[in-house]
A and B are shown apart, each in its own frame.
Chain A
Amino acid sequence: MNHRATHASASFARKFLVALSGLWVFLGFSAAFAEEVVNLYSARHYESDKTLYALFEKETGIKVNVVSANAPELIERIKREGEVTSADLFLTVDGGVLNTARNAGILQAISSPLVLQNVPAALRDRENHWIGLTTRARVIVYSKARVRPEQLSTYEDLASPKWKGRIVARPSSSLYDQSLLASLIALNGEEKARAWVKGIVANFARPPKGNDRAQAKDIAAGVGDVALMNTYYIGQMLNAKDPEEVRAAQEVGLFFPNQATTGTHHNISGVALTKHAKNRANAIRFIEFLTSVPAQERFSTDNYEFPTNPKAKKHPLLESWGAFKAQDVDFSSLSVHNASAIRLFAEGGWK
């Protein structure tokens, strides 16, 4: 009896496995046979992006195929794939990363007049090897209960002894802080940046840990009083499904630093056309779509990012923060100084 049962279950297991194997082969290949496609290697993992892809498919009948992974891995992948790469477009956050891709020789210039008209020159590559889609600012968040905004002024000021034991930060493995430090190296030079890291480390309320949202929560919890945070995370927290997240976000205020001096650090999320793109026309059409007003407004309403197309309306929350002066640092310098930034963090003891 038992023997028969074992056999029956074994043959069922075999059939099940065969069916599943068939399925994954089918799923894997179905993409290769579609008619009009554009292939995307994306390091943006936002749910709102999926909505945009679906919109584009509906509008044009061009299927959007996506592989998503971390940006540096995707760059390495495109490099290694060389001429046979399947990627038409590379989508990522951080100007430094975009510039790294450009220097790796895997991109080509985008010449669509419509795109160049949609996005101001300051928010795209000098030779249009990449086009900015959105920007985000890295601002100071502070405890509404224990800090008055008048006490805040600049990033540099956070290194002064008056903030001793009051700063919470995330580990320096985060690209957001690496790019911020790279911009400070570009503006103030390496020596001042080194001193800045040491000053911040001396002011830590606890060793660096957690993500951006965790910093806001630790301020709400009273562990620290100030932290650095990307603007869209504040928008997301204030609109989170978990009511406790919303409560924590309401405890913190938002401050755009360096308004009287060099401007607030902002970074860019952009799209680039790969050198060996097979579906060039579709890719260009997709970039035109992403930089158009309706798509740009989606970026802002769904994901709380600043649109790069000046005609697009911002989310009311972003509107309520008002205009701010942004850093005048070439995005390409973020990648130039990235290795130095990692070194300075390590030397200064910012884990």
Chain B
Amino acid sequence: MEIRAALLRRGFGNGWTAIRAFSFLCVLLPFLALASGLFSPPGEHWPYVRDHLLWAYCTETLVVTLGASAFAGALGVSLAWSVSLYDFRGRRFFDLALVLPLAIPPYIAAYAYEGLLGYTGVIQVFFRDHFDISLARLTTEIPAQAWAIWIFGVTLFPYVYLLSRAFLRHQSAAIFENALLLGGRARLFWRVGLPLLWPSATAGVILVCLEVLNDFGVSSHYGLTTFTTAIFAAWFGMGDADTAIRLALILLALVFFVLLVRKALHNARRYHVVSSQEKWLSLHRLRGFPQAGVLLFCGLVFLAGFLAPLLQMLHWLRLSWRGAFTADLGYALLYTLGVSGAAALCVMIAATGTVNANRLFKNRLSAPLSQGATLGYAIPSAVLAIGAISFFTGADRWLASCFPFLPERFLSMSSFLLVFAYGIRFFSIGYQSVEAGFAKIGNVYTEASRTLGRGVSATFFRVDLPMIRHALLGGSALVFIDILKELPLGLLLRPFNTETLGTLVYHFANNEALEETALPSLCIVFFGAAFLLLTKLGEKGEEKRVSGN
């Protein structure tokens, strides 16, 4: 008993820490399967890659990642600021609509932009046929990096927007009103708003950053030599797994650095406003030119990130709808929804367990364990997939020797493998949402409940869970949508005769039949958008209920 108490004090050996340890182990497994590669001598192409290509990989990756993060950050923060502090015509619409670009996978947006602005696209054809003006030069002069930054920016900015907006919505009016009394409205943003927004905005930018670092679809579409495409080229092109693993390690180090930066930024500026009489921000009504300006800005971003790709897909659907509604599509739809739901559920359970373990049972291991578990986001999908296959093929061999009645290749040829890999890949997204949810309520209520005699788990289910419910719902929606949009893991790990919506899109795009991608793409967008809107509306309803009481 004493030992158990001592272990508990040190944060070992209860259910919560077990979940944390389990999450960490899950992420570790595919690494272990690849570990042999780490200690082997460098591959034959490594010196060449190091001397001739590494620098190019680094610069291209940095340019695109920094560019996209800055662009998405600027869009997200300025839009959240406009919608949170000002009242203008259409504000309520844009408050919802501006999260929708998140429903469009960047690679699909890239295809759509090519369809829209390319030589055979509606715009060029219109100008060519009616005015005899060729715009071909215009679109070819824009460098590929700029295209990629644009695509990432307009489709990923909602990460920043969502987190900043959520922060501003729950801000006490007192700070802003005092600041307004002391200075002008224009200075408010730079002197008070931005510093206050810093933690939530950077959290959003980090998500964008990780998403871009791990992207394969957009980079390969525009022919960029980023780390992910380089890993593919080294491993699958040169057949040099050791070099690929080395590149993957550099990418991993880069991601680890990004996460450290985030931690540093987060710790440096953290503001908790505790006030018993919270008064929500009152909106400043805009009229005339300022109103038109804000409206135009919101409208253009919405057009660029959502409406334009959507319209292009509808145009393609008009051309390709005959024969597009197949049983394959129906199966793919059901399968994708099922797998995404199952994986999102697993992620949220693991993430909640880990975060709760961290805040209640801190020890020397807790930070590295949980940071380690979020690294899954950084492993290139191809590497993660191969690692998972190696591990589970081994596990299946062992299972088959113990339980001969199991179907052949019980784990590695079923959807289990896919759900597992999705779970590792998107654990970080769930983790960040849960962490943010807990950060918002702090430890006060938990401590009060503990003081009143409730146990850790009872407190969690009766006190913590209801309070972080919306963070959990929001987090699972984000994870769900991310899985819906995911491509490489689905491509490599799905069982026989199953397609995900993403792999259907990829097959058509790979055959260069872009117009055929319309229907599966639209399914992804529709379900992504529906989940986003439901979560947003749920939050709003909740707020109304709370403020009504």
Contacts and interface: CB of A to CB of B under 8 A. Distances in A.
A259 interface: no
Contacts of A346: 52-53
Given A213-B512, A339-B45, A21 B223 contact: no
A242 B407 contact: no
Contacts of A173: 220, 223, 229, 233, 237
Contact of B137 (A24, A76, A210, A223): A223
B236 interface: yes
B140 interface: yes
B71 interface: no
Contacts of A310: none
B148 to A, nearest CB: 11
Given A65-B497, A223-B137, A86 B413 contact: yes
Interface stretch (B258-266, B267-275, B384-392, B447-455): B384-392
A194 B389 CA distance: 39
A321 B290 CA distance: 63
B341 interface: yes
Given A28-B498, A67-B496, A207-B143, A73 B342 contact: no
A210 B139 CA distance: 12
A99 to B, nearest CB: 11
A122 interface: no
B73 to A, nearest CB: 27
Q: B-side binding surface: helix, strand, loop or mixed?
A: helix
A218 interface: yes
Contacts of B545: 2
B120 A217 contact: yes
A27 B316 CA distance: 30
Interface string A222-258: 1100000000010010001110110110000000000
B409 A342 contact: no
A244 B233 CA distance: 34
A222 to B, nearest CB: 6
B496 A39 contact: yes
A213 B335 CA distance: 32
Contacts of B223: 170-171, 173, 208-210, 351
Nearest to B386: A76
B238 interface: yes
A241 B136 contact: no
A80 interface: yes
Interface string B457-498: 000000000000000000000000000000000011011111
A351 B236 CA distance: 18
B193 interface: no
B133 to A, nearest CB: 12
B227 to A, nearest CB: 14
Contact of B498 (A27, A171, A222, A351): A27
Interface residues of A, number: 71
B125 interface: yes
A25 to B, nearest CB: 7
Interface string B370-408: 000000000000100110011001001100000000011
B134 interface: yes
B414 to A, nearest CB: 4
Contacts of A121: none
Contacts of B491: 68-70, 73
A72 B407 contact: no
Contact of B389 (A70, A77, A208, A221): A77
A295 to B, nearest CB: 19
B497 A81 contact: no
Contacts of B52: 343, 346-347
Contacts, number: 186
Given A20-B334, A342-B238, A32 B222 contact: no
A2 B545 CA distance: 8
A24 B491 CA distance: 16
Interface residues of B, number: 78
Contacts of A86: 408-409, 413, 496
A338 interface: yes
A73 B52 CA distance: 25
B136 A73 contact: no
Interface hub of A24, A70, A209 (most chain B Cβ within 10 A): A24
B53 A73 contact: no
A338 B409 CA distance: 34
Contact of A211 (B412, B415, B512, B515): B512
B136 A218 contact: yes
A157 interface: no
Given A20-B341, A84-B396, A241-B515, A28 B386 contact: no
B526 interface: no
A77 B492 contact: yes
Contact of A29 (B48, B225, B414): B414
B118 interface: yes
Contact of B237 (A72, A241, A351): A72
A248 B494 CA distance: 37
A178 B541 CA distance: 57
A73 B140 contact: no
B497 A31 contact: yes
Given A223-B137, A339-B45, A24 B512 contact: no
A52 interface: no
A218 B495 contact: no
26 contacts: A2-B545, A24-B335, A24-B342, A27-B334, A27-B338, A28-B414, A29-B407, A67-B496, A73-B491, A73-B492, A76-B235, A80-B390, A171-B223, A173-B237, A178-B237, A210-B114, A217-B119, A218-B136, A218-B140, A221-B119, A221-B140, A236-B511, A241-B319, A241-B516, A247-B120, A346-B53
Given A84-B408, A221-B134, 14 more contacts: A21-B342, A24-B334, A25-B415, A28-B498, A31-B495, A32-B407, A33-B407, A65-B497, A77-B386, A80-B390, A81-B412, A338-B239, A339-B237, A343-B52
